[in-house]
Amino acid sequence: MIETRVNPWTVDRLAQELLGAAAILRGRMDASQYRDVISGLLVLKRVSDQPGILRVPDSAHWSHIAENEGKALGHVLNEALWELERSNPGVLNGALEALDFDRRMSRAELKALIHHFNRVSLNNDDLEFTDVVGRAYDRVLDEFADSAGKRGGDFFTPRSVVRLMVRLVQPEEGQSVYDPFAGSGGMLVQAKEYLDEYHEGGARLDLVGQEKNAGTWSTARLNLLLHGTPNSSVLCGDSLTDPLHTLADGQLRRFDRVLTNPPFSMNYEEQEVRYPERMAYGWTPGHGKKADLMNVQHVLAVLRPDGIGAVVTPHGVLFRGGTEKEIRKGIVEDQRLEAVIGIGPNVFHGTSIPACILVLRGTNGPPEGQRDQVLFINAEREVVTGRSQNRLEPQNVEKIVSVFRDWADVPGFSRVVPLDEIADNDFNLNIRRYVDASPPSDPPLDVRAALYGGVPRSEVAAEAERFQAFGIDPRDLFRADGPDYLEFLPDGCEATAERIPILAAPREQEFMDRFSAWWEGTAPHISELAGTTRLLILRAPLMASLREQLLPMGILDRYQLTGAFAAWWSYRHEDLRSLDDRGFAGVIDRWTAADVRPRDLPDVAARKQVLDVLRTDVLSRLDGLVTTQRQGLVDLYRSWGDRYETSLVDLERESKAAATRLDARLRELGYT
């Protein structure tokens, strides 16, 4: 039998507690200020509860703070931070200097915060996973960024965008990862988490960053500490004018991977820029808020010859003229630009303008098969519309990454463009110039069909593959009407459209049977690796095997299949981690805690229940996509009815008949 253990602190629970603490201060100060307060208290509580993270002097122990809440509590907290920093100079030097509890809050507020944090245990034994604190802190930073409005974008990049960028550059074990505009450190954190999850045995990365804003720099340092990377090097300063990571001989250090989201549309002073050799492709006007390509050149300058970078920029850098065009020309001609990815509007905090990601290469350039080309991806429609902000969902990220890795041409989404064509366009990199993501327009109205009736065979033939994927021959939905046209069946368009789901049912059942066969082969692999801490490395092979099993049917394309899997994996990520870490018992534990009801199950029953839930979730996502595809056929057939079922000749005949009936009736009434 499985014994339900004590309710652990999950990411969701802890994030809610931290937001509850922030609510004590909301309205009293702005988001950046209570972000700092919560950060300081969280660090004090975490290092006190979990030994070994930092050296904690007596005055910085949480027990000392709680015992002295009746005294000058602001002074007690300040002293705790000062002593903690003094005891750990290599990790915290300067990171806590700006926080002053005496100046910012009343005694009542401080006391309420202490009581709030007293309820939370941050010892690893009381956490669902050892990284719960860092991940909950990420959630809170996201909320703070949303509350901060425009300023939120200065320190926080949406995690979906960060995950996309990390997967584009694929950091590897032992490499250096650099973010010159580090914000709250999310790029560096996600690089480590990527390697932790997808590489057995955990990650060893050299995490390096720089951040201009002192308060945000402090947040980045604490964020990395809370994510278990206290030895990362994040320095405070302006990377554009004064990059600080240098070698012993004074030369700039180079990195394997660079990930960054610089502030958009900055000004700069050319005379203040150290290491001007970084700007090998030219200088933009210093006071036109056009420093974006200067930041891009900094990234290029610090990449190792075989390095890869990803940088977020506004779309203006793709097409503005003058010196910016000359800079683009040099970058493209030197084969330093690998891909341009547009990700649509209103995704970033504090700005609704669309942005793009440039994937850059070191001086070695792209791989042999990709030379003399640039991949353009127009993912402006690959967002989910939110109430205040759009977002990239896992399926959106998966499609972009898959197309990038496949180096694929996908109509309306991506295109590999030769450098000669870019040169012919005067090095204008506007994404829509190369990939139009607009929905396909309807074919022009067939005049003969509109006049005399019938559906053009050419229009039906163009869509035949979609019907055939569902086992429907579109000719079975019409009657022949000469070599070039078809007629609707005698029952009419609407009655025939309603039969399409019935006609598609056998093929859909075959699709589900194939899925069931895939799951029967997959479940034993999941069971075998449950509790081994090796389960999560199954992600790529399981996704590939699902695609191989279902793609030949033609109902869903490769990106719909991989997107459904990615959405499932993301949604069930915490369950899968529990399964990986503690086996089926761990998943039952977390479900029991969430439901607040005990549930003791034999091992066999626990295994069945967990696998049934996982299976049902994947199946429901696939079923939803299949339903959408089938409904698309119904809508398409009805659109032919709207266009062609009633011809102008029919309308004229009906009009004459109606006029005849009206005349007859008028005569009956004696009006003629």
**Interval 404-430 mean pLDDT:** 96
Q: Return the pLDDT at 635.
A: 95
Average pLDDT, integer, range 178-199: 91
Q: Which residues on adjacent β-strands are paired with residue 236?
A: 211
Most confident of 35-44, 504-513, 589-598: 504-513
Which tokens is 633 given? 């056929």
pLDDT at 2 over 50: no
Q: What is the pLDDT of residue 242?
A: 96
Cβ atoms of 40 and 21 within 8 Å: the answer is: no
Confidence (pLDDT) at 168: 97
CB 246 within 8 A of CB 221: no
- 597 pLDDT higher than 80: no
**Which residues have C-beta within 8 Å of that of residue 55, sequence separation ≥ 6?**
87, 88
Largest CA distance in the chain: 111
| pLDDT value at residue 644 | 83
pLDDT surpassing 50 at residue 1 = no
Instruction: Say if residues 32 and 151 touch (Cβ distance below 8 Å).
Output: yes
pLDDT (tens digit per residue) in 527-552: 999 999 889 889 999 999 999 999 99
Tokens 């002295």 belong to 68
- For CA atoms 96, 101, 103, 104, the dihedral sign is positive
Quick one: angle between helices 107-118 and 73-87, nearest 10?
A: 60
Provide the pLDDT for residue 172.
93
Q: What is the pLDDT of residue 179?
A: 98
Residue 570 sits at the vertex; the CA angle it makes with 574 and 123, to the nearest 5 degrees, is 25
Structure-model confidence comparison of residues 652 and 266, the more confident one: 266
Measured from the Cβ of residue 215, the count of other Cβ atoms closer than 10 Å reads 17
Backbone φ, ψ for residue 209 (5° rounding): -155, 170
Beta-bridge mates of residue 355: 314
- Name the residue with higher pLDDT: 537 or 658: 537
For the cut 60, the answer to whether the pLDDT of residue 134 exceeds it is yes
The Cα 196–Cα 654 span in angstroms is: 72
Q: What is the pLDDT of residue 202?
A: 59
Q: What is the mean pLDDT of residues 382-394?
A: 81
| CA distance linking residue 57 with residue 620, whole number of Å | 53
pLDDT number for residue 166? 97
The kind and range of the H/E element at 91 are helix 89-92
- The mean pLDDT of 609-637, rounded to a whole number, is 96
Mind listing the pLDDT tens digit for each residue in 546-576? 999 999 999 999 999 999 999 999 999 999 9
**In angstroms, rounded to a whole number, what is the distance separating the alpha carbons of residues 32 and 149?**
11
Residue 109 clears pLDDT 80, i.e. is over it: yes
Give pLDDT, residue 653. 63
pLDDT exceeds cutoff 50 at 4: no
Alpha carbon distance 414, 430 (integer Å):
13
pLDDT at 151: 55
14-18, 47-51, 78-82, 107-111: the lowest-pLDDT one: 107-111
- How confident is the model over 105-131, as a mean pLDDT? 92
Q: How far is CA 307 from CA 176, 180, 292, 313, 360, in A?
A: 10, 15, 20, 19, 8
The whole-number pLDDT of residue 390 equals 83
pLDDT of 440 higher than 90: no
The answer on pLDDT for 3 being more than 50 is no
Q: Which two tokens stand for residue 444?
A: 């022009």
Q: Look up residue 270 and give its two tokens.
A: 């050319």
The whole-number average pLDDT for the span 363-372 is 94
Q: How far apart are CA 302 and CA 309, in angstroms?
A: 10
Sequence-separated (6 or more) residues with CB below 8 Å from residue 402: 408, 558, 559, 562
3-state secondary structure string across 150-195: HHHHHCCCCHHHHHHHHHHHCCCCCCEEEECCCCCCHHHHHHHHHH
**Quick one: pLDDT at residue 649?**
55
**Per-residue pLDDT, 169:** 97
The yes-or-no verdict on residue 437 having pLDDT over 90 is no
Which one-letter amino acid corresponds to residue 325? K
Residue 549 φ/ψ, nearest 5 degrees: -75, -40
What pairing do the DSSP bridges indicate for beta strands 455-456 and 485-488? antiparallel
pLDDT of residue 203: 64
Contact (CB, 8 A) for 357 and 312: yes
Q: What is the pLDDT of residue 154?
A: 55
Question: Please, what is the average pLDDT of the chain?
Answer: 89
Cα–Cα separations (whole angstroms), residue 490 to 474, 477, 479, 634, 637? 16, 10, 9, 18, 15
Q: Which helix (H) or strand (E) is 556 found in, with range?
A: none
Q: How remote is the C-alpha of 243 from its chain's centroid?
A: 29
Residue 589: the pLDDT is 84
What pLDDT is attached to residue 143? Answer: 85
**Mean pLDDT along residues 312-324:** 95
Q: What is the pLDDT of residue 150?
A: 53
Tell me: the pLDDT tens digits for 257-279? 999 999 988 999 999 999 999 99
> Do residues 154 and 183 touch, judged by C-beta distance below 8 A?
yes
| High-pLDDT (> 90) share of the chain, % | 66
Residue 590 has pLDDT above 90, yes or no: no
Please tell me the chain's helix, strand, coil percentages from 3-state DSSP, rounded to the nearest 5: 55, 10, 35
Q: How does pLDDT run across 278-296, given as a tens digit for each residue?
A: 999 999 998 888 999 999 9
Cα–Cα distance for residue pair 485/439, rounded to 1 Å: 26
